[in-house]
Amino acid sequence: MLKSLHLVCFILFVALTISTAQVDIIGMGHNDGVVVTSSSSIAQANQTLTRVGFLPNHSAAAKLSSQTTFGVTLETIEEIAALGMEDWMDAQLALPMGPSMLDQVKAYHDYRKAGENDPDAGTSMIFWDYAWWQYHMTESDYVRQRVAFALSEIMVISRNSGFGGNPYAFGDYYDILLKHSFGNFRDLIQEITYHPSMGEYLTYINNPKTDLDENRFPDENYAREVMQLFTIGLFELNPDGSRKLDGQGEPIPTYDNDDISEFSKIFTGLMWGDRDPVRNQFFRGDQNRESYTVPMQMFNDMHEPGIKTLLNGQIVPDRNPVDGIADIEDAIDNLFDHPNVGPFIGKLLIQRLVTSNPSPEYVSRVSAVFDDNGSGVRGDMKAFVRAILLDEEARSCDAVNDNSFGKLREPFIRYVQLCNAFELSTASGNYRNAMEDINELINQKPFYSPSVFNFFQPDHQPIGSVEEAGLVAPEFQIVNSQSLVGYLNGLNSWIIRDQPTDEWRLYGDEVVPENEKAYFQLSDEIALAEDDRLHELVDRLSLVLAHGRLTQRTQQIIIDALKEFPSGDEEELDERVRVAIYLVMSAPEFLINR
């Protein structure tokens, strides 16, 4: 029986002599005057005496998984506990990216062509939805998946604007996020800058140089957002994420309208990557769906010539002949080298993965790793992500009692966690999920942000105690009567009624194969659903879903409710399990990930 309702911290076995050993239970930072000696290097005395803990236990392992993944099974939690958090994290960081989502989108398109016997059959956004779902239901690069999703909420493109319902645009763009989640931040910014999906979303594709006769000036959209949202933010920051102040005690802006204007000149001359140079360069023309998979190309005759003055006084020279690519390289270096990037992006990722209100010390430690990974490399995302997720503040046992720590679980992440925790499976290994009903219920699914500012903003403060305490709670920006009721109705549909996915047809008269319908695997839980084992069932669900945070009172309420349901046969036991999952995933201890 699992007994891990709370974090079990700091059991230290100290060998006092060769012939005797003594067990001390110490920690939670209470280490004043304690001196530890050991004949074995595995004691890790310093780590044990801090708030981090000696070896991972199941609750600590489950907490790590809740911050680093879209949810895992009990078996994966046990794997993390056995390997140790650092070793498991290093193994995850070493995993290669899985199959290309773009390739999967193309495969679905080919399937439609064959099914309709039409080589010119059109595309559908269902191809993208299915590709995303297939990847996340079958691949084991859990940390990469969660980081890429976080990046998709920072470097936003949205299907709510443009793209003509083209799934190629999103498949190729998400591949970039997956690839560079463990790459280098500069490479990430460069690939995003040249990607036609971003070019179309922020309207700088086919962006020509100034023409005073036509009263035409470079588009400023990307120039603004690449600074405000993707790299440096609005105000100069200290390494700990706090704002620098001028002599009058006011925040110092990182850029102004003149800077936006100068950067907008940089991003002129970028056209569709598969455009014939002889054709009209100002209009989109007849490019096909795969145009979104080819990086934009530079047309120097459309690029703004002359000197451009960037941040911190950096001058882009008046190149002769005009060289737009060189100008963009200078601009990306200018942003990448800005001291704001580490604390700005570091805090955003901490908020998406760990806690809405990280301490200045936490941000500072993470920022330092962005600046230098220990080998003199700036922007190493693998080291950056590792620092965020293994930081002492993220792993601390104190967090369970700290009301300022943690974050509201995003509704979409709750949904995917449900599917992963209980091994949603198909007989064929092929997964379909249009996620349309999910989006209608919870107002969230990949690339469905209402604007470039994401589903919610990082500084959102709900009215009330959070605002009064000077804290932020970004995810609460999409909490309203519709999304709250929608989530509970969703749980009822997904787990109680056993309708977890939208298995739509891929073409008009297709019959969805029975072996591509998904079902939860609940046999382990059903074995614990009799009255005398309900405490084990609820304890197990508390661990897998809420890393052991359900209080005794909450657990007893759930147990008492479950006893009201009959348990005469397996079907009734199955119903008990589903109700138990529903109640655990409705509990505050689950909804707030702390």
Give the start-to-end residue ranges of the domains of the chain.
1-55, 184-336, 341-395, 407-593
Does the pTM surpass 0.85? The reply is yes
381, pLDDT greater than 50: yes
Residue-wise pLDDT for 44-89, tens only, equals 444 444 444 445 689 999 999 999 999 999 999 999 999 999 999 9
Cα atoms in the Cβ-side hemisphere of radius 13 Å centred on 131: 27
- Listed residue (52, 46, 4) closest to 397, CA to CA: 52
DSSP 8-state code for residue 124: -
Q: How confident is the model at residue 331 (pLDDT cuts 50, 70, 90)?
A: very high
29, pLDDT greater than 60: no
17, pLDDT greater than 80: no
The pair of structure tokens assigned to 55 is 């070896």
Average pLDDT for residues 536-544, to the nearest whole number?
98
Specify the pLDDT at position 398: 78
66 in Cβ contact with 400 (< 8 Å): no
| One-letter identity of residue 49 | L
Give the phi and the psi of residue 106 in degrees, each rounded to 5: -65, -35
Specify the pLDDT at position 161: 77
The pair of structure tokens assigned to 187 is 């490479």
Specify the pLDDT at position 401: 79
Exposed, middle or buried by CB within 10 Å (0-12, 13-18, 19+), for 540?
buried
Residue-wise pLDDT for 386-436, tens only, equals 999 999 999 998 777 788 999 999 999 999 999 999 999 999 999 999 999
Helical residues (DSSP H) of 241-323, grouped into ranges: 257-266
Residue of 225 and 15 predicted with greater confidence: 225
Paired strand residues for 380: 184
The C-alpha atoms of residue 377 and residue 189 are separated, in whole angstroms, by 16
